Amino acid sequence: GCVPLTAYGTPSTSELTDSLKPYVEHHNALLLENHGVVAYGKDLWQAFDRLETLEHTAKIAILAKILGGANDLPKDAIEKLINIREKAGYLTEAARCQACGYLEHTDIKCSLDAESVNIGNSNGAKISFTREELIELLAQAANIG
């Protein structure tokens, strides 16, 4: 599923937990602005598996971007993947309805009202790095540093 970027919240305050509330029900991992990632599940092992999957996916995305960008899947391939995940029980109605970009490219419709599904993201803040910081991050992502 999608991993939304939550708004910044000051640690040890309700700001942080309040920024998570709209997302927790419909996502199993969150990227906390200026904090890091949190993943959760029915037990510690499921949460850990989700975190590892997210980390692996992030590394692939970074390397794909470096190598010229990823190729988007065609509409029919996205629909097949969504249907397979639903049949296997990995994708709930709420998760399927996440507005993370894939539904708008398919014929799959969401039957839930927009209020019950998180469709937002953070404020679109830009992230900047120095050249050295970027090289270090890329080296870590590729496990060569």
In DSSP notation, 35-55 reads TEEEE--SSHHHHHHHHHHHH
pLDDT at 69 over 90: no
Confidence of residue 11 (pLDDT cuts 50, 70, 90): very high
Q: Between these two residues, 141 and 73, which has the higher pLDDT value?
A: 73
pLDDT at 34 over 90: yes
Could you report the per-residue pLDDT of 73-122, keeping only the tens digit for each? 787 887 788 788 778 877 666 666 654 555 554 555 555 445 444 444 44
Listed residue (88, 85, 93, 120) closest to 109, CA to CA: 93
Cα 44 to its chain centre, rounded Å, is 19
pLDDT at 4: 83
Could you report the per-residue pLDDT of 38-60, keeping only the tens digit for each? 999 999 999 999 999 999 988 88
